[in-house]
Amino acid sequence: MANEGYPERSLEEVESLAASFATTYFSSLGQESLATPIPVEDMAEHYLGYAIDITDDGLFSDPNFLGGIDFEKNKIYVNASIEDHDGRYAFTVAHEIGHHVLHKEAYLENHTEGEKEILCRDTTEKPQIEVEADRFAAALLMPSTLIREAYAGMDGKKKVKTIGQARGLANHLIKEAGFDNVSNTAMINRLIDLKIIPSFVGYQTGQFKKNYGRPTLGQMIRGSLSRVFRSFRV
């Protein structure tokens, strides 16, 4: 998916927009503060009016395509292969909400009738708008204010120096702060983004894939194929 026609946003702006979206959503429920776990399904279906379609048809027969959003049909697609993986499922829905908030207006302005496509989240390629949607998803599911409050309230905090310590801290925050729809991987990456723990060189995990070094031949081939097939015409 090319970035043409989409304004590039700083990660700080993406964080701010995610926080604003979450605050507005909870205010619509009459709640003055955020509550975990962040209910991204309800946000998508009842607040924004999207239908969530869990599917393995067509484009989504490829497990590399985790989800997509169709602005014309008001549909969010989630690959059936991740339906039972709560963390990946919630992150994918949050990612597509990110596309709605960050990219829908520019998308509709730059695609004429008959040239519409589904914006797809896949694991082989990360153009700027996908990086932005990933950051939005992380900020929405794991608001910085709640993460910092939970971390500040911990007893006996120790400096994190190893992956094992990072995983332990992530598990503690998930359990104690109610982030039930967040994976350990997502929490570790969020803690790195917020500079609460250091970035571990060579650390690659699941859907976030913080890559250090060159991609493998297989990754390059899959990336090339995804660029051919990711424009799913509707």
Query: What average pLDDT does the structure give for the chain?
Result: 82
Residue 215, preceding peptide bond in cis (omega within 30° of 0): no
Rg of the chain over CA atoms, in angstroms? 18
Q: CA-to-CA distance for 204 and 206, rounded, in angstroms?
A: 7
| pLDDT score, position 158 | 79
For residue 16, give the amino acid letter: S
54, pLDDT greater than 80: yes
| pLDDT score, position 157 | 79
pLDDT band at 172 (very low <50, low <70, confident <90, very high): very high
Q: CA-to-CA distance for 198 and 194, rounded, in angstroms?
A: 9
How many residues make up the chain in this entry? 234
> Cβ of 78: how many Cβ atoms within 10 Å?
23
3-state DSSP assignment of residue 119: strand
Q: CA-to-CA distance for 21 and 44, rounded, in angstroms?
A: 12
Long-range contacts of 71-74 (CB under 8 A, 24+ apart): 71/100, 71/104, 71/107, 71/108, 71/116, 72/116, 72/234, 73/234, 74/49, 74/50
For 135-171, letters b (16+ CB in 10 Å) and e give bbbbbbbbbbebbeebbeeeeeeeebeeeeebeebbe
For residue 135, give the amino acid letter: R
**Which tokens sit at 53?**
């379609």
Q: CA-to-CA distance for 162 and 66, rounded, in angstroms?
A: 30
Going across the sheet that includes 117-122, the strands are 51-55, 75-79, 65-70, 117-122, 232-233
pLDDT higher at 204 or 187? 187
Give mean pLDDT, residues 180-198: 94
Residue-range domain boundaries for the chain: 11-233
pLDDT per residue as tens digits for the range 58-73: 888 888 888 999 998 9
User: Any idea which residue has 């894939």 for tokens?
Assistant: 209
**Which tokens sit at 87?**
């963390």
pLDDT per residue as tens digits for the range 209-228: 443 233 333 333 344 434 33
Q: Rounded to two decimals, what is the model's pTM?
A: 0.81
pLDDT band at 208 (very low <50, low <70, confident <90, very high): very low
